[in-house]
Amino acid sequence: MIEWLLPVVQVLLLVSGCIFFALGTLGLFRFDDTLCRIHALTKIDNLGLGLITLALLMMTPSLASSLKTLLIWWVALAASATSAHLVARAVRMHERPMQQRERCDD
């Protein structure tokens, strides 16, 4: 009776993860501000990747494979946060001199 439950849960997690990836991509195209785009990509894509990772964890044959899958997820989360921070910092550094120039022109 329970043997059909695992594939159903895996499919639901995979489909949900793909939907979150699609929503993150939509946010990338729809938002005007760079910081809003970064927020949509990092938050939504990390959730989508987490759901897909959970689905893959159910299919791993051993503990070592599960740990490798979790390590890959952790590295992707760290890379996403780091790249978002660097892009946001570059945007803020670029905006700051322009704002100071506007104040001086008043």
Distances (CA, A) of 26 to 19, 20, 52: 10, 10, 19
Q: Model pTM?
A: 0.79
Categorize the per-residue pLDDT at 3 as very low, low, confident or very high, splitting at 50, 70 and 90: confident
Give me the residue spans of the domains in the chain. Answer: 2-105
Query: Which of 46, 38, 37 lies closest to 77 in space, CA to CA?
Result: 46
Categorize the per-residue pLDDT at 104 as very low, low, confident or very high, splitting at 50, 70 and 90: very low
The per-residue pLDDT for range 6-59, each reduced to its tens digit, is 899 999 999 999 999 999 889 888 988 888 888 888 888 899 999 999 999 999
- For the cut 50, the answer to whether the pLDDT of residue 106 exceeds it is no
